[in-house]
Structures are given as C-alpha cells and as structure tokens.
C-alpha cells in the first residue's frame, strides 16, 4: 500500500510541476492570452493534482516508521507553501510569486534527491564493521585486505545472501547500494553496525518495509552482514 502511494505521489507531483512550469514559461514570455487559455483549460487538473499531492504526501508522512527527519519535514512544509503560492502567482499573472514558486520547487527537488537541506549528501567516514557490530576505520583496499565479514559468509551462504539482497533490496538500494530509489539509504555510506542493520531489515524504517516475517533469523543475519560488503 505504501509503495502504491509513493508511486502515485511522485506521478502527481511531476504532472503538477509540468503544468505549472508550462504556465510559468508563458507568463515570463508575457504570453498572457495563451496563459489565460491554458489556465482555464487546466484549472480542474491543478486542483486534482495539487489535492492528490497533499493527500498522498500526508499519508506517506503519517506512515513513516520513526520520527520524520528534518529534511523531510522542511520539504513537506515548503511544498504546502509552494502549491498555493504558485497557483495564486499564475492566476494573478504575478511574476515574483511565480518565480518564488519555481525556486521553492527546485530547492525541494534538490532536498529530496540529496536528503539534505544543504543539497549535499552526507558522505561521512568510510568504516568497516566487525561481526559483533563494532565500527572501525575502513581498509583503503578492501579487495587486498582481509575482510572479517567474508569469514562469516563463505560459499553457499554468501551466494544465498547475495540472492536475497538482489531479490528484496536491489530494486531500491541498487546492486551496489547507491541507487537510492524511493528514499532508500545509500548503503555504501551508511554507518549502521550489523545489529542496527538486522533491526532495520527485520522491522523496517521509514518507507522501507520489514522482512522479519519473510526471512529467518539466519537469513536476516546473513543479509545484514552482506550489506556491509557494499561499503567503499
């Protein structure tokens, strides 16, 4: 259900922005007659897309597992302000309000993509994770250095963990952990220890569902260990 709402939210936001940017373009070019005709013919679509954006966004925020991160809260507040601001700007042919709406939407897009109010993803320090969950400095060349996780995942177990990851996780996280689809965390930069990863895999976090009912404890453990191998 949450995934369906997420896809619907993304779709209606894109459609709303396309309509808004078309009308903003006409306004900035002083094509007022064209703008009036376009605005008149898309008035109902504006209301539908704007309303669906708020409804689906509100549902996703309500369904978020855990406290909302600051960047997500600020993003929601800005969208709530930008939608009516943009509609009023277009209706009144006010270039300043319209330009402000465009800038807010561009900023919100950058925040959503980077999950940071500074629009710069936090890279953090590369770390290695031991089997008991302790964090230390990562080896500069993990291919040549002895990786403690590999000693826990050998042969068939390693292949099984990789298969589970590709089946359940790669769609959002990517095969290398960096995809970041649907708000997924970049696993190459995550500082969660193995215990924290087990907790997230079993119970979920944010928009990520938990897999505790689908996987055994051994599979969850193996998947948590495998995810640490994706670190740079």
Written in H, E and C, the secondary structure of 64-105 is CECCCCHHHHHHHHHHHHHHHHHHHHHHCCCHHHHHHHHHHH
DSSP for residue 131 = T
| Pick from 86-90, 125-129, 187-191: least confident | 125-129
Q: Are residues 94 and 189 in the same domain?
A: no
Domain of residue 139: give its range: 127-228
Region 141-165 average pLDDT:
60
Residue 178 binned pLDDT confidence (cut-offs 50, 70, 90): confident
Residue 120 DSSP SS3: coil
Residue 11 in this model has a pLDDT that exceeds 60: yes
Q: Are 124 and 109 a contacting pair, CB within 8 Å?
A: no
Q: What is the pTM of this model?
A: 0.53
In this prediction, residue 130 carries a pLDDT of 43
Last residue of a domain, one of 90, 114, 138: 114
The pLDDT of residue 129 = 40
Number of Cβ within a 10 Å radius of residue 230: 19
Q: Are residues 6 and 110 in the same domain?
A: yes
Better-scored residue on pLDDT, 107 or 149: 107
Q: Which of 46, 6, 7, 53 is nearest to 23 (CA)?
A: 46
Confidence band for 90, pLDDT divided at 50, 70 and 90: very high
**CB atoms < 10 A from the CB of 22, how many?**
14
Asked if 184 and 104 sit in the same domain, the reply is no
């Amino acid at each position: 259900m949450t995934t369906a709402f997420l896809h619907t939210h993304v779709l209606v936001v894109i459609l709303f922005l396309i309509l808004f940017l078309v009308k903003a373009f006409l306004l900035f070019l002083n094509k007022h007659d064209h703008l009036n005709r376009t605005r008149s013919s898309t008035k109902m679509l504006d209301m539908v897309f704007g309303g669906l954006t708020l409804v689906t966004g509100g549902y996703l925020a309500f369904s978020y597992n855990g406290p909302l991160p600051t960047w997500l809260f600020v993003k929601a507040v800005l969208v709530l302000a930008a939608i009516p601001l943009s509609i009023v700007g277009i209706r009144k042919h006010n270039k300043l309000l319209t330009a402000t709406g465009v800038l807010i939407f561009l900023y919100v897009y950058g925040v959503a993509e980077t999950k940071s109010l500074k629009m710069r993803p936090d890279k953090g320090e590369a770390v290695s994770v031991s089997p008991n969950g302790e964090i230390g400095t990562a080896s500069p060349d993990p291919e040549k250095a002895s990786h403690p996780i590999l000693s826990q995942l050998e042969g068939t177990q390693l292949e099984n963990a990789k298969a589970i990851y590709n089946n359940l996780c790669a769609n959002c996280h990517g095969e290398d952990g960096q995809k970041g689809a649907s708000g997924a965390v970049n696993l190459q930069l995550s500082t969660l220890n193995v215990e924290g990863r087990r907790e997230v895999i079993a119970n979920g976090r944010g928009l990520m569902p938990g897999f505790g009912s689908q996987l055994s404890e051994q599979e969850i453990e193996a998947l948590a260990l495998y995810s640490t191998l994706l670190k740079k």
